[in-house]
């Protein structure tokens, strides 16, 4: 593909006191443009990913990016949304603008501020990413939706509690080395496996350590066309970018198969001319540990029903055959909805540039990410490589 990432920025994720949606946007927008070696006037288009199903009282947020620099005034700016894949939707919108010849440089920003919303409101907002006629009364909100998925998986394939704890422990171990992560603590397998006062059951077989965190945060990147990227200090190119949308009602699908995820991976690998064996690492959407387990199967790393065996084998650990979520994933890093997909692209670019610090996968040459909205409804896969 003829599009590269040439600059990026990332806040820490977590409970960010004193910040607003606007301040988070401004911080990463300025930093990403500077990191790309550009001036704000060089940006041709702006895309903002912001879920805002009720988390922010300020709606109509696309123009907040202009607050980063007066030179952004009169640039086209659009907000996009696709549930928990909102950030990747923004990235893909930017790719389209460049491929259409409408822009040479696109600034993409993803943001969310969740922690200022009361817990009941958080649950209600997130549940809007499900099909309300079927799931609107689910106890525990979106965690309850995935709790049902986990329970159904256990019923079909046996108790996977050890595997889920292994995934949680792996991602917390990785996240301990990520300075952007909300939780930088290696919790260990035993803590993640054991029900306790600090790790109670939340929904079905899912405990607190099986659930991603409520987070504030922002990330941004600058996309460039091939000619514009030639003079950039660094360029991480897209070998592929695939987006597959599936039915919203889970009743219309086998929810344990994540077929949209499978199709997105199939399309992306075909476009990239690559196989899973060619990849150096994957960042995948572990909103809940059961999601990462099913994604192993959907992407083709494990056969149906055998994702748990893979999780326990160590093959997806940072030093394993294919490291999955070397950043700590959503589980440790946090999951500010609109920022997550942009964050995944930024961290993948850092890996391929050799600039990932303590979470660096040695010798990474080809990386991929999977970002999901809803229960495998919006499915995005990007495959990236270093150009220079």
* Pair 47, 109: CB distance under 8 Å: yes
Place of tokens 């030093």: 319
Out of 50, 105, 335, 345, the active site residue is 335
Out of 50, 84, 92, 243, the active site residue is 84
Alpha carbons within 13 angstroms on the beta-carbon side of residue 99 total 13
DSSP summary character for residue 180: T
Cα separation, 142 vs 347, whole angstroms: 26
Q: State the DSSP H helix or E strand holding residue 236, giving kind and residue range, or none if neither.
A: strand 236-245
Give the contacts of 159 (CB within 8 A, at least 6 positions apart): 205
Cα separation, 110 vs 20, whole angstroms: 13
Cα separation, 223 vs 346, whole angstroms: 11
Cα separation, 146 vs 153, whole angstroms: 10
* Pair 175, 181: CB distance under 8 Å: yes
CA nearest 312: which of 331, 296, 291? 296
Residues of the chain by 3-state class (helix, strand, coil), percent to 5: 40, 20, 40
Cα distances from 300 to residues 21, 114, 187, 283, in angstroms, run 38, 33, 29, 15
Give the contacts of 51 (CB within 8 A, at least 6 positions apart): 81, 83, 84, 86, 112, 337, 338
Cα separation, 56 vs 52, whole angstroms: 6
* Pair 5, 236: CB distance under 8 Å: yes
84 is catalytic: yes
262 backbone φψ class: left, alpha, beta (φ>0; ψ -120 to 50): alpha
261 is catalytic: no
CB atoms within 10 A of CB 29: 29
Q: What are the backbone dihedrals phi and psi of residue 203, each rounded to the nearest 5 degrees, phi first?
A: -160, 125
Q: State the DSSP H helix or E strand holding residue 334, giving kind and residue range, or none if neither.
A: none
Radius of gyration of the CA atoms of the chain, in A: 19
Known catalytic residues are 84, 335
């Amino acid at each position: 593909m003829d599009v590269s990432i040439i600059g990026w920025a990332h806040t820490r994720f977590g409970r960010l006191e004193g910040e607003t949606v606007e301040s988070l946007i401004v911080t990463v927008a300025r930093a990403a443009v500077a990191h790309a070696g550009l001036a704000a006037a060089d940006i041709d288009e702006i895309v903002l990913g912001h879920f805002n199903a009720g988390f922010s009282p300020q709606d109509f947020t696309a123009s907040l990016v202009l607050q980063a620099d007066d030179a952004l005034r009169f640039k086209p700016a659009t907000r996009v949304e696709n549930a928990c894949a909102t950030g990747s939707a923004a990235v893909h919108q930017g790719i389209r603008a460049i491929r259409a010849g409408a822009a040479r440089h696109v600034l993409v920003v993803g943001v969310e501020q969740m922690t200022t919303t009361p817990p009941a409101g958080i649950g209600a907002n997130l549940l809007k990413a499900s099909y309300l006629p079927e799931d609107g009364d689910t106890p525990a909100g979106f965690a309850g939706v995935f709790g049902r998925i986990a329970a159904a998986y256990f019923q079909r394939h046996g108790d996977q509690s050890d595997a889920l704890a292994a995934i949680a422990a792996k991602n917390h171990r990785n996240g301990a080395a990520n300075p952007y992560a909300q939780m930088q603590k290696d919790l260990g397998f035993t803590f993640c496996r054991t029900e306790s006062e600090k790790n109670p059951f939340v929904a079905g077989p899912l405990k607190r350590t099986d659930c991603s965190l409520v987070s504030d945060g922002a990330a941004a990147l600058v996309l460039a066309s091939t000619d514009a990227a030639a003079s950039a200090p660094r360029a991480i190119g897209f070998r592929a970018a695939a987006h597959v949308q599936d039915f919203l009602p889970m009743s219309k699908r086998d929810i344990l198969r994540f077929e949209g995820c499978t199709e997105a991976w199939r399309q992306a690998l075909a476009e990239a001319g690559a196989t899973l064996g060619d990849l150096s690492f994957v960042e995948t959407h572990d909103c809940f540990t059961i999601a990462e387990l099913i994604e192993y199967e959907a992407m083709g790393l494990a056969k149906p029903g055998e994702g748990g065996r893979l999780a326990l084998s160590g093959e997806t650990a940072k030093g394993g055959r294919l490291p999955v979520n070397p950043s700590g994933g959503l589980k440790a890093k946090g999951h500010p909805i609109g920022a997550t997909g942009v964050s995944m692209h930024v961290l993948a670019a850092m890996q391929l540039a050799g600039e990932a610090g303590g979470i660096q996968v040695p010798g990474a040459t080809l990386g991929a990410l999977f970002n999901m909205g809803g229960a495998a409804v919006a499915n995005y896969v990007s495959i990236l490589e270093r150009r220079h």
